[in-house]
Structure 1
Amino acid sequence: MSAVDQNHNCDKKSEKDREESMKRLSKRLSYLLRYGAVKEGLEVDDNGYVELENLCGANLLHSHSKAEVLEAIKSSTSYRHTKRYDYRERNEQIYVRAAYLRNFEKSPFHRNTKVKTLFESSMSCILANLDDYDLQDFPDETILRMMIRRLKREKKLTIKALRVLLAPTVTHLDLEGVYLTNNALRLVWTQCPYLRVVSLKDCGYIITDSVLVQFTKNLRHLEKLNLCRCTHLTNKALATLAKNLPQLHTLHMTRVPSLTSKGVLEFLQKSPAIKFLDVYYLRTTPEEHKSLVETAYSKKVTLVLREPLKTWEVEREECDDEEEEEAQVECDDLTHGRDDDDNDNDDGDDEDVEKSSDEDEKILLEGLLNEIWSDQEADEE
């Protein structure tokens, strides 16, 4: 092999190594700034900001320079072309945070030790022996939700566990990605009659139009609902929501291929309290798109809807599909086997504090960040 070929191969390898390094950095930043900062010993202020110097000192980032970390934070964007991270200067120091989906885990240990806290030891014991407990009169919703979240992360959230943990005090419930049965759903509405916020995102074939009728008839207090990727739903589901949920003000329903612009338009017109509607991937013609935007504007509804496309590129949408789940994948890659304790600092973004009332008055198109689902944001409201 000639010297020129050797140099060429070396350059290619070097470029590949740089790409892999930046990919690892992206995943680690996502984990630290969304979930793991507290657990990894970093100081986080009330608004979710971490000092850049402190962040760069984390063990996970030891192989990356401060310049690399800051550049990744400034340049990283989501599949909707919105910034993943915020940064600002205070007292000549740079502070950074995730723009959304902040849900910090508490450290299970006493500060600067490997001794588990009494709370951690107690929760682990209860979760290991759930059959011995009756929590129907337990008054602390936050702790119940932490237990549900941990079992969900560990893929141990069974119908037996739900029968113990679902109690009337629970008003916010995240079942995203959980394998549900009809009996499990029945437990939800019978044991948690005062639910206000529910995520059924990506819950598979069980979420159908007929199931949603029963679900909403028995949970009339629902205000926020996430039905993203519930691919068996149709326009009938929208009609059901408008009829049965008079207090529903936030609905996420993207990646539901059977929805049509006509069904969404009727929902906007008939839903009495709706203020935020995410149907980003809805396919529309220019005329349909204009009609939806004008209707949303007239009703002061924040609408997340992409521009109409002339040609539908299936490969592009599949790529977007993968990126939409990137946050969860990043966290799973880095925290496999970790417990999921929630900071629940209520819930500070919607999904947190970064949305202003002015934004709620606007019509959001492709370039504007939509409200991201999370327990944090729901509580904060």
Structure 2
Amino acid sequence: MKDKLRGQLDPIVRKRIGKILAYLLRYGAAKEGLAVNDGDFVDLDELLECSLLKGYAQELLKSVITEDVSFRGVKRFEIKQDALNGQQFVRATFGRRLEEKPFHDNSRVKKLGEICLDAIAMNIKQYDFSDFNDDYLISQLIQRLRSKKMLNNQTLDCILSSSLEILDLEGCYLTPKSLAIVRTRCPGLRILNLRRHGYLMTDSNLRSLLQGLPQLETLNLTCCHNLTGRSLESIRTVCPHLRHLNLFGVPRISDEALLQFLCLAESLSYLDIFDRKFESSLYLETATETARQRGIVLLHRDVKDPEVCPRRALTAHLGARGRFW
């Protein structure tokens, strides 16, 4: 307890508080019994009374909320005040992925929807999803199966259907067979998230997958670090409708291959290469000019032209950390 009541200048304590606040305001507010309002704001007074923050002085908590910044110098939390009653609300500035509260207010009784999803997940093989076209509920079921350690190729094959247009597989353990299931079961996909599947995504695996997804418009390959310029050629030739591509954390693509893709990808309108290290400033200048001429948003930390890298797109990137949704 003494450790929690140390002065405001203790950097270790402030860092610990910052991590707790980040968890609450990005992911776990509902799980910890906090009401989440429009815009993902949480009542400041309720937050300060949260059990996870019990024992920390309120002045210290408020100091961290108002002063804490990320390594990029961006404030991690923001406060707004109700103009009528002066009530204050706080939210995380970026990285919010708040889950819906699974329980009824002031109880541990699960909501009916949660009970139904649990029941379906536990008996997934008894259901026919062939004509089920609710992308959101399918995504919820996939994540529920994953959390229960029940997501495998057999259950994935059960739940996917040809009517799906959006598929988020972040956090799911996949194999080459999983990719084959996606390719054959979901030919109408428009949006696909493969973020953090670097252990699986090679040039050949990606090409094999994309050959069955000709309607793809948005593809997230964040941290798929084994991909090279061959993958860009596959994307360009196999997915002619692709408009949004995220290559954050994909370092093995050559500058030449990237410039060629910028020039030749017919439908491209957005490319995230925020952390890319170009071999020389000439490559960056050429990429920026190409993007300007073609009307492509090019997200890169060193692009200063607001026409090519609008501030709103940069802010969205910092908030999403490589996600499209």
Distance 1:151 1:69, change over 3 A: farther
Aligned to 2:288: 293
* Runs of 4+ residues deviating >4 angstroms: 14-17, 359-362
CA contact (8 A) 2:8 2:60 kept: no
Structure 2 counterpart of 1:214, from 180, 189, 208: 208
Please state how far the C-alpha of 1:238 moved relative to its aligned partner: 1.3
State the Cα deviation string for residues 52-83 of structure 1 (Å, max 9, x = none): 22222222222334433343334444444444
Question: What is the correspondence of 1:92-241 to structure 2 with a 5 Å cutoff?
Answer: 92-241=86-235
Aligned to 1:27: 19
Distance in 2 of aligned mates of 1:86 and 1:222 = 36
Please state how far the C-alpha of 1:235 moved relative to its aligned partner: 0.8
Structure 2 counterpart of 1:268, from 249, 262, 274: 262
Please state how far the C-alpha of 1:125 moved relative to its aligned partner: 2.2
Matched residue type, 1:273? S
Distance in 1 of aligned mates of 2:43 and 2:302 = 37
CA contact (8 A) 1:171 1:195 kept: yes
Please state how far the C-alpha of 1:253 moved relative to its aligned partner: 0.9
Distance in 1 of aligned mates of 2:306 and 2:216 = 20
Distance 1:66 1:292, change over 3 A: farther
| Alignment RMSD (CA, Å) | 3.1
Task: Specify every segment of 5 or more residues in structure 1 that has no aligned partner in the other structure, as ranges.
Answer: 1-10, 309-358
Matched residue type, 1:301? I
CA contact (8 A) 1:231 1:256 kept: yes
CA contact (8 A) 2:167 2:192 kept: yes
Structure 2 counterpart of 1:306, from 262, 281, 301: 301
Please state how far the C-alpha of 1:86 moved relative to its aligned partner: 3.2
Distance in 2 of aligned mates of 1:59 and 1:256 = 40
CA contact (8 A) 2:183 2:211 kept: no
Distance 1:157 1:369, change over 3 A: same
Query: What fraction of aligned residue pairs are identical, expressed as a percent?
Result: 33
Matched residue type, 1:27? K
Matched, 1:369 2:322: no
State the Cα deviation string for residues 214-239 of structure 1 (Å, max 9, x = none): 22222122222111221221011112
Distance 1:271 1:68, change over 3 A: farther
Please state how far the C-alpha of 1:23 moved relative to its aligned partner: 2.7
Distance in 1 of aligned mates of 2:143 and 2:285 = 40
Aligned to 2:64: 72
Please state how far the C-alpha of 1:256 moved relative to its aligned partner: 1.8
CA contact (8 A) 1:304 1:370 kept: no
Task: Specify every segment of 5 or more residues in structure 2 that has no aligned partner in the other structure, as ranges.
Answer: none
Distance 1:193 1:68, change over 3 A: farther
Distance in 1 of aligned mates of 2:167 and 2:72 = 26
CA contact (8 A) 2:217 2:244 kept: yes
How many residues align? The count is: 315
CA contact (8 A) 2:165 2:188 kept: yes
Distance 1:245 1:83, change over 3 A: farther
Q: Answer with 126-135 or 191-200: which moved more.
A: 126-135
